[in-house]
Amino acid sequence: MAVTRLKRKDRRNKALAKLRIATIKRLTYTPPVKKVDIEELKKQEGII
Protein backbone atom coordinates (compact mmCIF):
# COMPACT_ATOMS: atom_id res chain seq x y z
CA MET A 1 0.00 0.00 0.00
CA ALA A 2 1.44 3.36 -1.00
CA VAL A 3 1.67 6.31 1.35
CA THR A 4 1.06 9.82 0.09
CA ARG A 5 2.09 12.98 1.88
CA LEU A 6 0.30 16.28 1.88
CA LYS A 7 3.03 18.68 0.78
CA ARG A 8 1.17 21.82 1.81
CA LYS A 9 0.51 20.50 5.32
CA ASP A 10 4.10 19.27 5.57
CA ARG A 11 5.50 22.71 4.69
CA ARG A 12 3.13 24.39 7.14
CA ASN A 13 4.09 22.07 10.00
CA LYS A 14 7.80 22.61 9.37
CA ALA A 15 7.34 26.39 9.23
CA LEU A 16 5.38 26.41 12.49
CA ALA A 17 8.03 24.27 14.18
CA LYS A 18 10.80 26.66 13.10
CA LEU A 19 8.75 29.62 14.30
CA ARG A 20 8.15 27.97 17.68
CA ILE A 21 11.85 27.18 18.11
CA ALA A 22 12.82 30.75 17.14
CA THR A 23 10.30 32.18 19.62
CA ILE A 24 11.61 30.01 22.46
CA LYS A 25 15.21 31.02 21.68
CA ARG A 26 14.24 34.70 21.58
CA LEU A 27 12.37 34.56 24.90
CA THR A 28 15.10 32.63 26.72
CA TYR A 29 18.01 34.68 25.35
CA THR A 30 20.15 36.37 27.99
CA PRO A 31 22.75 38.93 26.97
CA PRO A 32 26.38 38.10 27.79
CA VAL A 33 27.61 39.35 31.15
CA LYS A 34 30.47 41.80 30.82
CA LYS A 35 33.23 41.99 33.40
CA VAL A 36 33.30 45.53 34.79
CA ASP A 37 36.19 47.08 36.70
CA ILE A 38 34.54 49.31 39.32
CA GLU A 39 37.77 51.09 40.24
CA GLU A 40 38.40 52.05 36.60
CA LEU A 41 34.86 53.43 36.29
CA LYS A 42 35.33 55.52 39.41
CA LYS A 43 38.52 57.00 37.97
CA GLN A 44 36.80 57.88 34.70
CA GLU A 45 33.81 59.44 36.45
CA GLY A 46 36.00 61.36 38.90
CA ILE A 47 34.24 59.87 41.90
CA ILE A 48 36.59 59.48 44.87
Ranges under pLDDT 70 in the chain: 1-2, 47-48
Q: Is-contact 42 48, C-beta < 8 A?
A: yes
The helices-and-strands tally (H runs, E runs) of the chain is: 2, 0
Backbone angles phi and psi of 3, in degrees to 5: -115, 130
Domain-by-domain residue ranges, the chain? 7-45
Instruction: Report the pLDDT value the prediction gives residue 35, as an integer from 0 to 100.
Output: 86
Tell me the whole-structure pTM to 2 decimals.
0.53
